[in-house]
Structure 1
Amino acid sequence: MADAQSLSEKYSELLLPSTVIQIIAAIFGVFGNVLVLLMYTKYIEDKTGCRYFIPILAVVDLLGSLSNVIEFYLDNTMRYIYPGAFLCKTMPFLIIFTGGFSAFLILAIALQRYLVICRPFGKQMTPKMCRIAILLILLICIGYASPILKFKGISQKLKTLNVTGNVSFCHIDDGTNNSSAIITYHGTLLFLSLTNIVITSILYLPVIRTIYKILSPTRQKQPNRDPKENINLAVITLTKPQQQRVNDDTIYIPSTERSPEQTARRNISVMYLVIIVVYVVSYVTSLVTHIYQFAKTEEIKGYLRNIYVLCYRFNHLNHIANPYIYWFYDIQFRKELRKFCCSCIRRRQLNY
């Protein structure tokens, strides 16, 4: 027989690689989202509304990174002496809530980009519509994250281990819940995630197709090009269109001074692709591992345990990657970030 404290220490040593990776990932996630939030709220003026969701996404991903690392750290280091039922229930709730919120915000961004690029002369998402969308996402995510508050709880006994002393084990099923109901719940989350992925992909594919069509080198050399496509090009490349008189008609020719059009086409297309891939890989991997947890018959041991735990918590990747994806492809962000860093360096030099 072993006491709960020594078992927790042994388990913590076994999962030390996973714990270190999760802490490092959380540092990147917190740093990235705080900086994105600072830039987009204080230094970058969003005149067109195309970046409306990004600061909100940064807040959600910041909360998601913090809740993930707290839950993972407690589970890895205090597995059999968990500090209380409140954290046992609240942290998983926040993980599911922020994960869903982030995913639905990506869907809202996909819809916004679709309207801006594929339907530039149609009805667009106004600030009021964006606020309504955020409220609906909030209510939906609270609704489907709430069942975890019932399933999660503290167990005072372990069926598979003989443990002495006071045991406090945070478990999703201590025997009072129906395991089939828990599997159904996680299966529903998986279904909702896959549905979200399909809808997001459906919205992104015509966006990518439109970008390639408008920014095609052969298309741009055509003399009788539709002026509407020139306006679309200005929207896609985020450059101010220039006016030019041709036969008493005003046409719009997008400026290409910032970057070549081929680079703009590649960057924007890759951005949409990366967003979808990161979301698919992170959430599907995590949810499939959650379901596998109840289907497995043998205990996972050794280094495979670390791999299993990392897959189980792979949803954390989405909260970390989102800010860096937007950083990399937003020219205005990089410009303002350079100015911010230079001003900080100058102030520091003046103080010395």
Structure 2
Amino acid sequence: MIVTEGLVKTFGKLVAVDGVSFTVNDGELFGFLGPNGAGKTTTINILTTLMRPTSGRALVGGYDVVSEAEKVRRIVGLVPQDITVDDDLTGWENLMLQAGLYHIPRSEARRRAAEVLELVGLSDAAGRRVETYSGGMRKRLELAAGLLHDPEILFLDEPTLGLDVQTRAAIWEYITRLRRELGMTVFLTTHYMDEADSLCERVAIIDRGKIRALGTPSDLKASLGGSIIDLEIVNGGSADVMSILGRVDAVRRVSLADGVYRLSVDNGEEGLPAILENLLRSGVRVSRVVMRKPTLDEVFLEYTGRKLRDETGSWEEAFRQRMIVRRMRT
């Protein structure tokens, strides 16, 4: 289990994490969603003891991340956003190096390395240098390294960022399998809403260091209403149309972007006739109507005011993250 209570992390005047509180249950796959600079990686760094919080408290597996940091490190695995495996070594040599950093006895290290390589589908490539691996293979080796010491809790920071659809699906097949076979708790950050929606049991949305929403994907989508209706209008000023739509009882909220009026309603099938009737009565002609269920992308937009976009980060940030991970392993 992971428990955070009023977690705060500041860098000078910058508040990166601002009073964050949440609980992750044993065996849960928990999604942590946020735009660039929201506080996701900083939170992971605190929970994996790479950083100390400025204030607040965090327990991982029942251990305090500050006063019992060494115990936390023994039970967590971390797959960072940036690749940290050594290109000059083989896949097997990378895992043996990792085992040494965790002081795993050689015989056990060999057994575990064989197991995790099989789990991520890299047994046949174990003897090849990592420089010959594809991007997806490197990610899978990074996952194997995070699993080598048999952690109870696995932290995945953007594990599929930049991968093609097929490789993303393969990575998630491995993660789903290890959860099923090992009962592992997984804490995930991702930019892919389809991943979070289909895989996570609960998600938290963080923006500007604060938790904006927390719940199951279904509950969060339901918070926007049962249906989303997109309307395109032939005539009528936007202010007039917004005013007309705002007076319809069925409409919970309405927005306008790129010429499309987006309405949240509790029941689209019941509410749409009233919406169209009010517009037609006011002389407003509708050229296109699309009705659908809300998406997690729209939940994110609702709570943060912006769309989730891919973040690649600067090379300075990538280098800093790589160095901090390597310091943890020594």
TM range, smaller chain: under 0.3
Greater strand percent: which structure? 2
**If you compute each CA radius of gyration, which structure gives the higher value, 1 or 2?**
1
TM-score w.r.t. the length of structure 1 is 0.23
TM-score w.r.t. the length of structure 2 is 0.24
